[in-house]
Amino acid sequence: QKVGVMTGDEKGNFNPDKAVTRAEMAVVMANLLDLKVENYYGASPFKDVPQWASPYVAACYANGITAGTSATTYNPNGNVKA
């Protein structure tokens, strides 16, 4: 949290035992890799990504870190599997 990689939920809670969604992981990866997400607002090809996650998903997608489940869907609420 101190370096900005993990920010917690909307209330600031970390929730270490909660499953991580694909959208949440995109935020973590974009922060970890210091991707300039401000350059990706409105750039996501995925229609099912919530606004708060869209630039993070777009940045990860553009940099080859993640893929969609189709050309226009991402499944942002799907759980990340180890």
What pLDDT digit, counting tens, does each position of 18-59 carry?
888 999 999 989 999 999 999 999 999 999 999 999 999 999
Handedness of CA 26, 29, 34, 35 (dihedral sign): negative
Contact status, residue 40 vs residue 58, Cβ threshold 8 Å: yes
Split at pLDDT 50, 70, 90, the class of 3 is low
Residue 9, token pair as written in the block? 């939920």
Maximum C-alpha span of the chain: 35
For the full predicted model, state whether its pTM sits above 0.95: no
- Which long-range contacts link 67-73 to residues 24+ away (Cβ below 8 Å)? 71/45, 72/45, 72/46, 72/47, 72/48, 73/46, 73/47, 73/48
